[in-house]
């Protein structure tokens, strides 16, 4: 990533991080837009894909032998299950980022923490799929968590951030796809891997049998060398189980059930 582009990413992420100014609801909006921004930039997806995401569209995948520590990636099913021309679902994957300020996984954690600990949104009922599958990840209001943020609302937030920071960009809703593609090209990630990440035409082999996840791209977008298995996050070793159990205690109850 070029120094100038990383600077812009850090500025926008910080803009949304500090957007609340002490207001819980504004913080809710800021954390929501921060997560959406990072998902677009690092997953090469558009704002329309982000606004459609629901809780069951997020899951984790463990990758073995990616480095000296366990690598658990956050994966999203994008576009409400939108399929490619071969009928395969499209996914985007995210590693824990070297820089916590640019970490999409961290952004998702903070946003969910704010919803369920600060705003006291009712915790999901996992007793049946009908009771939680329609909960929007990017809801407009925690009191109405089934109503998704509009793509125009996401675009407006990105536009306002760029304007406030004097950052010029020709695209808004598709800026993440464009920026991400340019970052991977500059990093020397091979074209096929980049096309897989963005869901662009990759031929019948990848289209029919691939899952749309490129480890080369996921490594580079998280700040690791794309051609090396060097995943290591020092801060990940600073989370004792006693503290983790305090974050979402109801989740542990559901896990037992």
Domains and CATH numbers, the chain: 3-256 (1.10.443.10)
pLDDT in tens, 5-34: 778 889 999 999 999 877 899 999 999 999
Instruction: Give the pTM.
Output: 0.85
Count CB neighbours of 89 within 10 A. 13
Mean pLDDT of 129-143: 91
Exposed/middle/buried for residue 74 (C-beta within 10 Å: 0-12, 13-18, 19+): buried
CA–CA distance, 188 with 174 (Å, rounded to integer): 22
pLDDT in tens, 219-235: 888 989 888 899 999 98
- Per-residue pLDDT band for 192 (boundaries 50, 70, 90) equals very low
């Amino acid at each position: 990533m070029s120094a100038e582009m990383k600077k812009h990413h850090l500025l926008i992420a910080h803009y949304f991080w500090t957007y609340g100014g002490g207001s819980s609801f504004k913080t809710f909006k800021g954390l929501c837009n921060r997560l959406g921004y990072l998902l677009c930039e690092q997953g090469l997806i558009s704002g329309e894909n982000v606004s459609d995401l629901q809780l069951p569209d997020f899951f984790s995948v463990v990758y073995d032998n990616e480095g000296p520590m366990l690598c658990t990636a956050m994966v999203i099913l994008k576009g409400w299950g939108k399929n490619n021309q071969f009928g395969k679902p499209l996914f985007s994957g995210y590693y824990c980022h070297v820089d916590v300020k640019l970490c999409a996984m961290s952004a998702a954690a903070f946003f969910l923490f704010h919803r369920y600990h600060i705003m006291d949104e009712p915790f999901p009922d996992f007793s049946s799929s009908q009771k939680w599958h329609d909960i929007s990840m990017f809801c407009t209001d925690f009191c109405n968590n089934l109503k998704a943020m509009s793509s125009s609302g996401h675009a407006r937030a990105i536009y306002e951030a760029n304007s406030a920071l004097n950052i010029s960009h020709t695209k808004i809703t598709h800026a993440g796809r464009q920026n991400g593609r340019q970052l991977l090209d500059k990093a020397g990630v091979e074209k096929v891997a980049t096309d897989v990440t963005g869901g662009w035409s990759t031929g019948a082999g990848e289209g029919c049998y691939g899952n749309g996840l490129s480890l080369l791209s996921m490594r580079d977008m998280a700040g690791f060398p794309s051609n090396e298995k060097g995943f290591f996050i020092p801060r990940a070793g600073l989370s004792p189980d006693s503290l983790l159990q305090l974050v979402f205690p109801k989740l542990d109850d559901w896990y037992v059930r």
